[in-house]
Structure 1
Amino acid sequence: MSPRRDLKERNFPSAEEELRLAPPPLDRLAEADTYRLAFADPGFLLRDELRPVRMQLELLKPELVQQEQGIEATLVMFGSARIPAPDKARAELAAAQAARDPAGEKRAENALAMSAYYEEARRLAEIVTRETQRCDTPIYVVTGGGPGIMEAGNRGAYEAGGKSIGLNIVLPHEQYPNPYITPELCFRFHYFAMRKMHFLMRSVALVCFPGGFGTLDELFEALTLIQTGKCRQRPVLMFGRAFWEKVLNFEALIETGMISEGDDKLFRFVDSAEEAWAVLQHEYDLTAGAQCPV
C-alpha cells in the first residue's frame, strides 16, 4: 500500500530545494552568471535596477524574524555613540592626567560627566526588561546596535536576563554591533529609511538620550510622524532636560509660529530611569496588573 499523503504537502519545491537540486556546472555555458538562479546571483541582486527589491528585503527580513520571535512591543532608545561607560570615562581621564595633556583632560572630564547618561540608559533598559518579562506582552529594548547609549540599552536588557534588538547600519567608518545584543536579533541595514521604519513599527515608547545629528534625525522623524498623524501617539521621552533645553529651543519655534501651540506636548522631559519607567507604567497600566500579573 502506498504511503498516505499529507494534506499540507507543498505543491511546488521551495527555493532552497531548487537551489540544492540545481545541477553542477558542466561547461562554460552553465558557468555563466546568466545561468544562475536569479535569487542566487549576487551580481544581479546588486544592480541599481534591483534597489526596490533590496529595500523590500530589508523591510521583510527583520519583520519576519521578529514575528517568529514573538516580539510585539519595543522600547526604542536613541542616543549618541560617543557617550562612554563610566569606568571607561574614568580610565581615559586618568590617562590624560598622567600624560599631562590639558586638552585631553578637558575632553575626558566632559566625557565623564556625560557618562552618567550611559548609566541611566543601562538602568532603564534593565528595569523595563526585568519588570515586563512576566507580562502578556513583554517590552523589548531596541537600539541602533552600536556603542555608547546604544550599548548601554542592550547591556541593561542583557544584564536583566532578557533579549534585546540591535538595528545596525552600514557606515563609511564601520559600526560594529555591541556585544550585548541578542545574536538572533542583531540586524544590519543598508538603507536608513528601512532602519528607521523598523525603529517605529513595534515601539510603544521612545527615549531620546543626548546625541548629535543621527539622534536628532531619529527624534524629529518620530515627532513629525506623530504630529502629522502618520503614526499613533506614544510617549516620547527626552532624557536630560538640561541638555535638551540648551540644544533645542522649542519655545522659539512656537513663538515664531513654526510649530503649533501644543506641539511641545508631543514629548516630555525625564531625568532618571525611574521617572521614565513611571511614565511607561502609567501610560500602559503596568502597575494595575492589566498588562502584567501583580
Structure 2
Amino acid sequence: MNKRNQLTARNFPSAKEEAKALAQSPPSGDYDSPQSAYRLAFTDTDFLLREDMRPIRMQLELLKPELVQNELGIKATIVMFGSARIPSDETARAALAQAKLGGDEALIKRAEVQLSMSRYYEEARRFAHIVTKASMERTNPIYVVTGGGPGIMEAGNRGAYEAGGKSIGLNIVLPHEQRPNPYITPELCFQFHYFALRKMHFLMRSVALVCFPGGFGTLDELFETMTLIQTGKCRRRPILMFGREFWTRLINFELLIETGMISPGDEELFHFVESAEEAWELLAREYELSQAGST
C-alpha cells in the first residue's frame, strides 16, 4: 500500500469483508449447525426475521431504495398508478378472438370490456415514452415509477424502456405472487414487504401522480396522496386522472362537496385527462419543462 494512502485507510475491516472471510472459513462442529448462535447478527437471517426485529426490517426497507436512488442521482419521478388487470391491445384482441371461438356470451362480453379498457394500457405506455424521451437529456431526468407488476404498471415501465430510458418498479410481496414485469431497469427494481413503506417511496421523489383506472389498490394509493396534499402533509403536486367517464362514474365528487365531506376547491386537487399528450402538456406547463435551459 502506498504510504500516503495509509493516512485515509480503514482501521477496521468492513462488515462485507468480515462476512466474506467467515463464509470462506466457517467454524467447525456444532458452531456451524443451524442451532448455533455463532453467526454474525447481520448475516443471520433467522435472527433478522424474528418478530422483535420488525423495526429494523422496516428501517432497512426504507433505506435500501433510498440509498440506491441517491447513489444513482434520481431526484424526480412521475408515479403511474393503475390496474394490474388492464391488458395491452394485442393481448385483449387475442383474448376476444379466443372467446368468440368458444361461443360463451359471458366470456365474450368480458373480453369486449377488456378490449375497451386496453386503451388505457396504450395511453400509459405512450405517456411513459413521452416523459422519458422528453427528459432523458435533462440535467435531472424525470423517471417513471410504477408498482412493478403487470397491466398499467407494465405499460409504464414498457414505455420508458422503449424510449431507451430507465424506470423504477416498486414491487410488493403478495399471497398471489406478483412478479416484476420485464421492462423495469434491474438496478431500480425493488421488492417490499410493507405496503406503507412502499407507498412512502412512491411519493418521496414524485413531482406528479398519474392515475389510470384501477381497483382497491389504485384507489388506496390515489386517496392517500390526495389526503396528504389536502392536509398539508406533503407539498402540492399535479394529480392527473385518466378517463373522466370512468372516474366520475366511480366517485361522485359533487356529492362529497354537497354533503360537506370535502371543501369547495378540494376537487381542484386533480385534473382529468384523456390522452398521453394532454397529460404531458399539462405537466410541461406546470413545471415549465419546455423552456430552454431547464434542469
- TM-score, normalised via structure 1 length: 0.96
The aligned counterpart of 1:110 is 113
- Alignment equivalent of 1:156, drawn from 133, 155, 159: 159
Identity of aligned residues (%): 70
State the Cα deviation string for residues 49-100 of structure 1 (Å, max 9, x = none). 1000000000011111111111110010000000000000000000000111
The aligned counterpart of 1:227 is 230
The aligned counterpart of 1:271 is 274
The aligned counterpart of 2:3 is 3
Cα offset, 1:29, TM superposition: 3.5
What secondary structure sits across from 1:187 in the alignment? Answer: strand
| Structure 1 position 241 matched with structure 2 position 241 | no
**What is the alpha-carbon distance in structure 1 between the residues aligned to residue 5 and residue 108 of structure 2?**
74
How many residues in Structure 1 have an aligned counterpart in Structure 2?
A: 292
Which 5+ residue runs of structure 2 have no aligned equivalent?
none
The aligned counterpart of 2:13 is 13
**What is the alpha-carbon distance in structure 1 between the residues aligned to residue 109 and residue 21 of structure 2?**
64
Which 5+ residue runs of structure 1 have no aligned equivalent?
none
| Structure 1 position 280 matched with structure 2 position 283 | yes
What secondary structure sits across from 1:205 in the alignment? Answer: strand
Q: Do 1:284 and 1:291's aligned partners in 2 also have CA atoms closer than 8 Å?
A: no
- TM-score, normalised via structure 2 length: 0.96
Cα offset, 1:8, TM superposition: 2.5
**What is the alpha-carbon distance in structure 2 between the residues aligned to residue 266 and residue 104 of structure 1?**
38
**What is the alpha-carbon distance in structure 2 between the residues aligned to residue 266 and residue 88 of structure 1?**
34
- Alignment equivalent of 1:146, drawn from 145, 149, 155: 149
The verdict on how the C-alpha distance between 1:178 and 1:30 changes in structure 2, with shifts beyond 3 A counting, is closer
User: What one-letter code is carried by the residue in structure 2 that aligns with 1:211?
Assistant: G
User: What one-letter code is carried by the residue in structure 2 that aligns with 1:76?
Assistant: V
Cα offset, 1:2, TM superposition: 8.1
What secondary structure sits across from 1:97 in the alignment? Answer: helix
The aligned counterpart of 1:70 is 73
**What is the alpha-carbon distance in structure 2 between the residues aligned to residue 169 and residue 30 of structure 1?**
33
**What is the alpha-carbon distance in structure 1 between the residues aligned to residue 9 and residue 286 of structure 2?**
46
Q: Do 2:30 and 2:36's aligned partners in 1 also have CA atoms closer than 8 Å?
A: no
The aligned counterpart of 1:59 is 62
* Pairing of 1:33-182 with structure 2 (within 5 A): 33-182=36-185
Q: Do 1:235 and 1:267's aligned partners in 2 also have CA atoms closer than 8 Å?
A: yes
Q: Do 2:77 and 2:145's aligned partners in 1 also have CA atoms closer than 8 Å?
A: yes
The aligned counterpart of 1:26 is 28
Question: Which deviates more, 6-15 or 110-119?
Answer: 6-15
Cα offset, 1:21, TM superposition: 2.5
User: What one-letter code is carried by the residue in structure 2 that aligns with 1:149?
Assistant: I
User: What one-letter code is carried by the residue in structure 2 that aligns with 1:176?
Assistant: R
RMSD: 1.3
What secondary structure sits across from 1:80 in the alignment? Answer: coil
User: What one-letter code is carried by the residue in structure 1 that aligns with 2:214?
Assistant: G
Cα offset, 1:290, TM superposition: 4.2
